[in-house]
């Protein structure tokens, strides 16, 4: 059996590939999981606005039976009110939650 000592001394293409790091071998940054937007959960006489974790952000309740006119009472955070339609009450909840999530400028 004959050994080839010249092979280990001269850098070959495969040896150069293993030693020299390339831009392609660098780990790519991990992507963050995109947060799902809040969603409405429907109920019999009430609707709840929840985030992806299931935390309640706001709610809309229908007035008691027999009350005339029918009014939708909404609440979100420290704000509450009454609207004449479900669409408007939902819009107020979404508006209030969106307003609370933003930082207002100081000046």
Closest CA to 71 of 89, 84, 87: 84
Is there a domain that residue 70 lies in?
yes
Is there a domain that residue 45 lies in?
yes
Q: Give the count of domains, the chain.
A: 1
Residue pair 81/74 in contact by the 8 Å Cβ criterion:
yes
DSSP, res 30:
P
Query: Between these two residues, 78 and 17, which has the higher pLDDT value?
Result: 78
Does this model's pTM top 0.75? My answer is no
Is there a domain that residue 80 lies in?
yes
Is there a domain that residue 29 lies in?
no
For residue 20, cis peptide bond before it (omega within 30 degrees of 0) = no
State pLDDT tens for residues 65-88: 988 899 999 999 889 999 999 999
Range of the domain at 88: 39-101
pLDDT of residue 103: 54
Is there a domain that residue 69 lies in?
yes
């Amino acid at each position: 059996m004959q050994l080839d000592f010249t092979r280990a001394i001269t850098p070959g293409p495969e040896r150069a590939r293993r030693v020299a790091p390339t831009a392609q071998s660098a780990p790519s940054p991990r992507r963050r999981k995109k947060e799902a937007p809040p969603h409405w959960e429907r109920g019999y006489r009430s609707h709840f606005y929840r985030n992806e974790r299931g935390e309640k952000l706001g709610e809309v309740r229908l007035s008691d039976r027999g009350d005339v006119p029918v009014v939708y009472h909404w609440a979100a955070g420290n704000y509450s009110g009454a609207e004449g339609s479900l669409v408007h009450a939902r819009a107020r909840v979404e508006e209030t939650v969106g307003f609370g999530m933003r930082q207002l400028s100081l000046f």
